[in-house]
Amino acid sequence: MFETCKAKETTTESNKPEEVKKMTLVRWRPRNDVFRFRNEMDRLFDDFMERFPARRGVGEQIWNPDVDIQDSENEVIIKAELPGMEQSDVNVSIQDNVLTLKGEKKQEKEEKEQNFHRVERTYGSFTRVFTLPATVVADKAAAEYKNGILTITLPKVEEAKPKEIDIEVK
């Protein structure tokens, strides 16, 4: 598949041979370039389209709450933005090291007499799924909901915590 070819030795006017140069020839596979280009285009469109949720009905969109995941020495902390939602509208479950966050942001009562010129707030159901590292203790998970932020705290297993080892010089 790869071939190495040797450039001819040539002499210059001073009769000193020039250095020999080696080149590696690589077979061109146009199909690989096409697949690579297609994957890049798919990624580009996926990234672009995530910014614009698909419309369902008036004010109802497919949406996912923004999430921050922090990994500290003693625990993993997941914070989800859930503005305008009640605690009863959110469900958190852990099964087989998979944390599932489900909920529904319900649209407020529609007023028939009002004419809406613009509806930007999003409504609808969502599901977020996260694979947890094996180093967390799922049975000791705690969740707190305050000011539209859901904070899930997962303590780490004792063996998973980093330990310092003293080095003795002899």
CA distance 89 to 46: 29
- 76 and 142 fall within a common domain: yes
pLDDT of residue 56 exceeding 60 = no
Residue 19 lies in a domain: yes
pLDDT level of residue 60 (50, 70, 90 thresholds) = very low
Domain holding 96: CATH number? 2.60.40.790
- 71 and 36 fall within a common domain: no
Residue 56 lies in a domain: no
pLDDT level of residue 154 (50, 70, 90 thresholds) = very high
Q: For the chain, what is the domain count? A: 2
Residue 59 lies in a domain: no
- 133 and 89 fall within a common domain: yes
- 77 and 149 fall within a common domain: yes
The whole domain housing 28 covers 3-50
Mean pLDDT of the chain: 77
Q: Higher confidence at residue 20 or residue 101?
A: 101
- 72 and 28 fall within a common domain: no
pLDDT digit string, tens, across residues 20-54: 777 777 777 777 788 888 888 888 887 777 665 55
Contact criterion met (CB below 8 Å) for 97 and 134: yes
- As a whole-number percent, the residues of the chain with pLDDT over 70 amount to 71
